[in-house]
Each structure stands twice: as C-alpha cells, then as structure tokens.
Structure 1
Amino acid sequence: MASGEADLVIGEGRALAAHPLRAAVLRELHARPFAPAETPRRMLHAAFLLDPAGAQADRAALAALCTARGLPAPAAGAKYHHVSFGGAELRWESHAEFCTYTWDLPSSGIGPGALPFQPPAATLASPFGEVPQPGPLLVAVDLHLVQDTAEDLYLDKVFDRSSLARADVNDGFAEIASDFMADPSGYVRILVRDRGLGGDAAGALVQRLLEIETYRTLALLGLPEAQRLAPAVARIEGRLAAAATEMTRTKGLSDNNALLDELVALAAELEAGATASLFRFGASRAYMEIVRLRLATIREMAVPGFPTWQQFLDRRMAPAMRTCFTVEERQEKIARKLSNAADLLRTRVDVELEQQNRDLLTSMNERTRLQLRLQRTVEGLSVAAISYYVVSLIHHLVEGIHESGADVATLGLHLDVGLVTAISVPLAVLGVWAVVRRIRSAHGDAD
C-alpha cells in the first residue's frame, strides 16, 4: 500500500497520520466495480462454496493460471480480479464463504428466427476448466444480453411459461426475464433485452442480476438446515410442555432432581443445534436483504400477464425464509422457556434442600440435647461413684487409725468409725460435685 493511501498530505513535507484501517475502508467501496458491458454479450457465471483452506487454494490456483498466461495475478488480499483470456473476460470475486467466476463472452445476438442462449452453455463453458474447481458448485447462470427485438414469441421456447418472471427495469431501458430453473446443462438462464442502456448501465444491471441469483440461492441454504432442525425443535418443545405439566405433580427431591437433569439435557441439545445453525440462519437473513436491495435498485415495472422478479421471489422464497426464521425464533423462545422452567425447578430443589437441611439441623439439635442429658446423667453417676470411693478411703483411713489405738489414746481422742464415715459422705459428695462443676466451667459448659 502506498503511503499516500494512508497519510493525508497537508503541505510540503507534512502529513497527518491516518488510522491503519483507513486505506482498507476506502478501498472497500471500490472492491467490486461494475464492468461495462457492450450488447450483445453472453456471460457464464458460477459460484462455489469455500472453506478457509479452499479459499487459499482457489486464490493460489488463479494466481498460477494468470502467471502461466503472462497476466497479472490478483494482489494479496484482493477480493476482485479482472483479466482477459483471448476473446473472453474473466471476473473473479472472493467472498466470505464463496467465490465467483464470471466469463464474459462475445455474442452475435439474436438474428431473425434465432433463439437466445444458442449455442448451449455447455459448449461455451470450457474456460471453467482452466482453473481447478474451488469447491462445491452452488450457482450456475447463463446470462444473455441482447438488443430488444420486441419479439416475445421465442420466450416460451426458452423458458418455462409457468415460472417465467418478466419486468421492465432501469426506467424501461431494459427488460429482464427468467424462470429460475436449470436448463439441460445445469445453468439458470437470464435474458436481458437492451433498449438503450449504454455500456456502464448495462454492466451495472448485469452484475446486479447475477448477484440476485447468487444471493437468493445462498439465502435458501438455510432451508435444509431449518428442515433438519425442525423435528428436534418440535420434540424438545413437546417434552418441555410435558415437563412443565410434570412440575405441577412432582414431589420429593429425587423426582425434582431427575426432572431438572432432563431439562438441562434438553437445553444443552437445543443450544448445540442453535449454535450450529447460528451462522447459516444469520447468513440467510443477510443474503435475503441483499436480494431485496438489488431488486429495489433495478426499479422493476410489471409486464402485463407476468410477475415481476420481486413478486416471483416473494411468492416462492418467502415461505422458505419464513421457515428458517421461524425455526430460529422457536429456538430462542424454547431456550428462554427451558431456562425459566429450569430456574423454577432449581428453586424448588433449593427449597427442598433447605427444608432437608433444616430438618437435619433440628434432628442434630435433638440428638445433642439428648447427649447433653445423658452426659449430665453420667456426670451425676460419676459424682456418686467418686464420692463412694472417697468415702471408702476415709472409712478405711479412720478404721485404721481406730484399730491402732495407741496414737489415738495418747491424743485423748475417741474415733467412732461409723460416725466419721457418715459425716464424710455429704462432704465428699459436695467436694466432688464442686470439682466437676469447676471443670465444666473451665470448658464453658456451666449451666
């Protein structure tokens, strides 16, 4: 990129530094310019779906072909390339998920009694073999730009009358016609009758018509995805309704947990499908909007007895697009309802867990109270037992002193063993009880 594309010169030797993306943004407006088209012309247009690896291989193959022919190769990152191969012109375009090849071939037009699209496209398509097929073919168009002869009789020989859509466009300077059906060679035929368009206007019209056919086909890729997801969405929706009914009857933590696990599994399945289809449905919506914009740009006027392209596509495409968007909306609504149901059920489970915990704490408190009573009972028995042993020791001590006799007589004392033992009983009990109480008080367990 030249520095002048990025910087803004404001004087001799001075420039304002531009945003790094300024040049890319400015170039985007001119990434796919209209190529003038001189009537008569025959154009074969094809679009191929690509993954990132296929896009790189396609660009490399085109560059190799151009180099082998001594022609300029597409610049790195270029989205559009135009080269001449003998008498044919090739226009290559790179898009997010597809690429297009358009071969612009000279045509002799329609002479008296001659039909358009002659010779058949299959005999003219050999240039497509110059480049390896980039990916699966999705769009193939045979567009014939001819001078208007005011002759309509041949249209029934070229198109299926039941599907033929016609319209005057560009303020009446051209007429377009197509039945949007593949011919025996696999090409969708589009006839453009020039009534004084001029080269630039004809080139712009041709490109818009090719884009309409390309993008309307790409938009319809969402329909198989919607049809694939519809049974699973319906099943999840039905199971959600059943689960919501079960929620009014389930009791007990185990039943609610089982129901919650099922709702979570349904939500995961739905989210997997929605994530997989997110790009496809979004792309279909974007492509359909491009089709509508292109149809608005060509300014159709109805030809009596025939639907316009807008009317035809609205009637045939609208149901398919509604199917896609309905499945997408159902996914979003069911996801919200699943989330709400899971939240309600989770709340019920939490309440039941809290109730169980409360009951468990109550049971633990009761067991603790019983243990405390048992402990105090044991302590009482312990006081009695220890007091008994203390009194026994006192009894043996007094009895021994009494039996010795000599020391007691010397002191002038007379010991009554029974009386001393009796007196020691309450004293021992009070003493042991005081010691036990002091120990409990030291452990913070006093009454």
Structure 2
Amino acid sequence: MTFETIDIGAAAPGLSPHQDRATVLNEVHARPFRPIETPARLIHFAFQSTSAERDAEVTVLSEFSAENGGSGVPCDARHHRLSLGDVQLRWERHSEFSSYCWYKKCPNDEELNMDAAQIAPEMYSLVQPGPHLVSIDLRIVDAASAPDLEAMFAKESLCVMTAEGGAATVATDFKADPQGFVKIVIVNSGVPPMRVGALAQRLLELETYRVLALLCLPEAHRLEPTVREIERSLVEATQQMTQTESLEDNEGLLDKLVILAARLEAGAARSLYRFGASRAYQNIVHGRIAAIGFEAVADRETFQAFLSRRMAPALQTCFSLEERQINLSRKLARATQLLRAKVDVAMERQNRDILQTMNERAQLQLRLQQTVEGLSIAAVSYYVVGLLGYFLKGLAHREPRLDAELAVALAAPVIVIFIALLVRHKTKHTAGGAVQSTRR
C-alpha cells in the first residue's frame, strides 16, 4: 500500500490553491515514523541514482509490487510500502538516492541472528537502481537478549550511548562487516513501539547521510593534484610577468592564464554540487544526532566524538579544497587583469610609435610634395616663357619696333606668379576632396 495524500480540494472548497500547495503540505508527512516492536531487524540499503535510472527503478518496483499482491507505483511517487508476508518493505526516493528498508519481526533468537541477506533476499534479485552506497543491519533487542557489544563490534571504534531518557542503549562501530553491512544495535528497556520506530529511522538516516556526506572526499582527492598544478603554474606565470617585455610574450602568457582559469572553472563546476551536497548532508547528520538526544555512557566513546574525530577532518579536507578553488580563481582573475593592463599599455605604446612614424612619413611626404610643387612651377613656367618667347620673336619680324627679349623679361615674373597660384589652387582643391572622401 502507498501513503495517503492530503485532499486539498476538501480542505479548501471553492478556493484556487497554489500549484505547489499539495507538495508543500505533504512533504512534512512524506516519511512518518512507523511503530516497531521489539525484537526486530531492519535491513536498509541506499543506492545513488540518476533520472534515467529512476524511471527504470519505478518500473521494476511497480512490477515487483504487483507480483507480490501490492499496488502499482506511480511514476512521480516518492515512497511506497509493500508487505511480503512477515517482512515489510519501505521504499523512498530522495534527491540523489533511493532507499530500501526491509523490516522483520524476530520473535526468536534464530531469526534475530540470521544473516541479513536471508531477511531481504529479494533485494539481490531486483535490478539495482544505481551504484550501491549504504547497507545497514539494525537490530532491536530487549535487555534480556542484549548481545556482547565487545564481541560484536570493533573495540577501537565502538560507540555506545543512551537515548529516550536512558531507556534505550545504542551501539555501533560504523564499520562494515564481511557482508558489507554496518551493524547498529538498539537495546530497548521499555521504549514504546512508536518511539522505537522514530529512533530507528533517525539512526538509519544518520548512517545514510554520513556516507553521503563523505562522497566529497574521493572527489577532492581527484581534484587536488589539478588544483596544486594550477597553483604552481600561476606562481610561474606571475614571475614571468615581471620579466616579459614584448607584446608577443605577454599575449602568450595571457593565453596561458586563460587556459589555467578554464581548467580551474571546469573542475570547480564538476565539484560544486558534490561539495554543496556534502555540506548539506553534514548539517542533516548533526540534526539527527540532536534530534535523537544522545546521552553519554561512562568509559564509552560517543557518536559525536567519533564523528568529530573521523568525519570532520575528511569533510574539512573537501571544504578547504573548495576554498582553495575560490581563492585560486580570484588570484587568476587578478593576474589576468594585471597582464591585460600590461598588454594594453604595450599596445598603446606600439600604437603611439606607429602614429609617430606615420607623422614623420607625412612630414616627409609634405616636404617632397612642396619640392615637387616648386619643380613643377619652375618647369611649367620655363615652358610657358619659352613658348611666349618663340611667339614674340616671330611677331618681332613683322613689328620691328617690338623688343621681344624685353617683353619676355617683363612677362616671365607674371607667368611664374600665375603658374604658382594655379598649382597651389589645384593642390588645395585636391587635398580638400581627399579629406571629404575620407570623412564619408
């Protein structure tokens, strides 16, 4: 059977509800505690899953439920319960993982001490929804049947505390046994079934989220060599910045910094979700410990002390790497800005030199143009005066009183001045047209 949902229409007749109202109201009822009678065993599994794997998981689970007399599982379901004789299966879907919890009452010692795989054999026949993360074997026993904790758990990591005002004793070593299960024992000394159910669920969540929180550690180990290499390359690049002078060398160094920044951002993008999720899971672990309300047992290590000593350094390694990524990104950005400023200054200097060279060439062209103009005036004037001289000499044969040489001498200055004014006028007209064409 599946969990009952809230009838929003009956709660507010005639009103138009928010599209997410039902989701928000049902969320606080999504994972209610179930009463658990003592003695009992809970075998809990958690699998990481993607969206594609989840669709296949729902299909497989729905078929499995139908084959065993249960109802189908809707595609958007987040939880489902199924009765398999004396074993109860509880399936839940979370943000990035799915959990399967098999609950069995154990009225005798034989069932209480049987292998975990025998309690949930169907788990091994179902299609695995994703990579396996968590296996927990939670035993709930009364005080008369309490096992020898020293023999059951590793002494070096055994944690023992009390809960429910001292009426329940909880023990574990957070260590996987040869079958891969982390064992947890609750010794019940009068805690009612509903409170036992709440305690058991919080312990299962505590161990599940502890494992999920530490998923960032392998990711940090994979990223750390790359971050260290980028840090070393940045130091080398900043040292080269003080030695490079040419624009080509600075541009090559700028390309190197851009590549380093791209590599860093790619790694940070890959680890962003994992580090953020681990921080959230760490907060959930602390919240579950606070909700259980553990009390210390004399001469026994507490859950808080164990997790603080073993889990906190691993998470701090991940979070420190995240800080290194952030700081390194800032340093790369500053180095890139400094180098860009250096490249810009070099380009401005280069542009200034080019403009200065162009100015010198323009002045040289102006002098050359003036020289050409002078030669042009002299040449044209010489030819005009020569032509005028030929004309006047020929005219002097008909008019003996005309002095051709004197007339040429008097006309020569006038011709030179006229030719000079004409050339200057043409030069200014041509230059003005070129300027207008450039503006257009």
C-alpha separation in 2, matches of 1:156 and 1:394: 135
Pick from 330, 336, 343 the counterpart of residue 342 of structure 1: 336
Task: For 1:96-135, list aligned pairs within 5 A.
Answer: 96-108=95-107, 118-135=113-130
Per the TM alignment, residue 170 of structure 1 is displaced from its structure 2 partner at its CA by 2.3
- Aligned partner of 1:356 in structure 2 is 350
C-alpha separation in 2, matches of 1:367 and 1:128: 88
Pick from 417, 421, 429 the counterpart of residue 404 of structure 2: 417
**2:145 pairs with 1:144:** no
- Aligned partner of 1:327 in structure 2 is 321
C-alpha separation in 2, matches of 1:76 and 1:237: 47
Per the TM alignment, residue 196 of structure 1 is displaced from its structure 2 partner at its CA by 1.8
- Gaps (5+ residues) in structure 2? 434-440
C-alpha separation in 2, matches of 1:386 and 1:195: 128
Pick from 268, 275, 284 the counterpart of residue 290 of structure 1: 284
Q: What is the letter of the counterpart of residue 24 of structure 1?
A: T
Q: Could you say what secondary structure the match of 1:271 adopts?
A: helix
**2:440 pairs with 1:440:** no
Residue range with higher mean Cα deviation, 378-387 or 63-72: 63-72
**2:307 pairs with 1:313:** yes
Q: What is the letter of the counterpart of residue 157 of structure 1?
A: A
Task: For 1:20-419, list aligned pairs within 5 A.
Answer: 20-108=19-107, 118-149=113-144, 154-403=148-397, 405=398, 408=399, 414-419=401-406
C-alpha separation in 2, matches of 1:68 and 1:291: 37
C-alpha separation in 1, matches of 2:164 and 2:252: 65
Q: What is the letter of the counterpart of residue 45 of structure 2?
A: A
Judging changes above 3 Å, is the alpha-carbon distance between structure 1 residues 91 and 3 closer, same or farther for their aligned structure 2 residues?
Answer: closer
C-alpha separation in 2, matches of 1:226 and 1:129: 32
Per the TM alignment, residue 82 of structure 1 is displaced from its structure 2 partner at its CA by 1.2
- Aligned partner of 2:417 in structure 1 is 430
C-alpha separation in 1, matches of 2:10 and 2:37: 38
Per the TM alignment, residue 30 of structure 1 is displaced from its structure 2 partner at its CA by 1.1
C-alpha separation in 1, matches of 2:139 and 2:324: 43
C-alpha separation in 1, matches of 2:133 and 2:169: 26
C-alpha separation in 1, matches of 2:87 and 2:118: 14
- Gaps (5+ residues) in structure 1? none
Q: What is the letter of the counterpart of residue 230 of structure 2?
A: I
Q: Could you say what secondary structure the match of 2:298 adopts?
A: coil
Number of aligned residue pairs: 430
C-alpha separation in 2, matches of 1:2 and 1:180: 36
Please report the TM-score for the alignment, with normalisation by the length of structure 1: 0.92
Q: What is the letter of the counterpart of residue 260 of structure 1?
A: L
C-alpha separation in 2, matches of 1:4 and 1:82: 20
Residue range with higher mean Cα deviation, 63-72 or 363-372: 63-72
Contact 1:89–1:104 (CA under 8 A) maintained in structure 2: yes
Judging changes above 3 Å, is the alpha-carbon distance between structure 1 residues 245 and 7 closer, same or farther for their aligned structure 2 residues?
Answer: farther
Per the TM alignment, residue 17 of structure 1 is displaced from its structure 2 partner at its CA by 1.4
Q: Deviations over 1:159-210 (max 9, x none)?
A: 1111101110122121111111111211110101112221111111111110
Residue range with higher mean Cα deviation, 180-189 or 318-327: 180-189
Contact 2:58–2:75 (CA under 8 A) maintained in structure 1: no
Judging changes above 3 Å, is the alpha-carbon distance between structure 1 residues 235 and 30 closer, same or farther for their aligned structure 2 residues?
Answer: same
Contact 2:36–2:196 (CA under 8 A) maintained in structure 1: yes
Contact 2:6–2:26 (CA under 8 A) maintained in structure 1: no
Q: Could you say what secondary structure the match of 1:39 adopts?
A: coil
C-alpha separation in 2, matches of 1:109 and 1:385: 131
Q: Could you say what secondary structure the match of 2:144 adopts?
A: coil
Per the TM alignment, residue 4 of structure 1 is displaced from its structure 2 partner at its CA by 4.8
Task: For 1:9-24, list aligned pairs within 5 A.
Answer: 9=12, 15-24=14-23
C-alpha separation in 2, matches of 1:74 and 1:173: 38
Q: What is the letter of the counterpart of residue 319 of structure 1?
A: P
Contact 2:6–2:22 (CA under 8 A) maintained in structure 1: no
Please report the TM-score for the alignment, with normalisation by the length of structure 2: 0.93
Per the TM alignment, residue 2 of structure 1 is displaced from its structure 2 partner at its CA by 9.2
C-alpha separation in 2, matches of 1:353 and 1:7: 73
Judging changes above 3 Å, is the alpha-carbon distance between structure 1 residues 368 and 7 closer, same or farther for their aligned structure 2 residues?
Answer: farther
Q: What is the letter of the counterpart of residue 26 of structure 1?
A: L
Judging changes above 3 Å, is the alpha-carbon distance between structure 1 residues 71 and 432 closer, same or farther for their aligned structure 2 residues?
Answer: same
Q: Could you say what secondary structure the match of 2:90 adopts?
A: strand
Q: Could you say what secondary structure the match of 1:307 adopts?
A: coil
Per the TM alignment, residue 55 of structure 1 is displaced from its structure 2 partner at its CA by 0.8
Q: Could you say what secondary structure the match of 1:108 adopts?
A: coil
Contact 1:219–1:285 (CA under 8 A) maintained in structure 2: yes
C-alpha separation in 2, matches of 1:383 and 1:8: 107
- Aligned-pair identity in percent equals 45
Q: Could you say what secondary structure the match of 1:70 adopts?
A: coil
C-alpha separation in 2, matches of 1:146 and 1:80: 27
Q: Could you say what secondary structure the match of 1:102 adopts?
A: strand
Q: What is the letter of the counterpart of residue 430 of structure 1?
A: I
Contact 1:6–1:23 (CA under 8 A) maintained in structure 2: no
Contact 1:8–1:17 (CA under 8 A) maintained in structure 2: no
C-alpha separation in 2, matches of 1:337 and 1:300: 45
Q: What is the letter of the counterpart of residue 310 of structure 1?
A: Q
Q: Could you say what secondary structure the match of 2:208 adopts?
A: helix
Q: Deviations over 1:228-265 (max 9, x none)?
A: 11111111112212222222232221222222111111
Judging changes above 3 Å, is the alpha-carbon distance between structure 1 residues 266 and 118 closer, same or farther for their aligned structure 2 residues?
Answer: same
Contact 1:399–1:417 (CA under 8 A) maintained in structure 2: yes
Judging changes above 3 Å, is the alpha-carbon distance between structure 1 residues 302 and 425 closer, same or farther for their aligned structure 2 residues?
Answer: same
Q: What is the letter of the counterpart of residue 177 of structure 1?
A: A
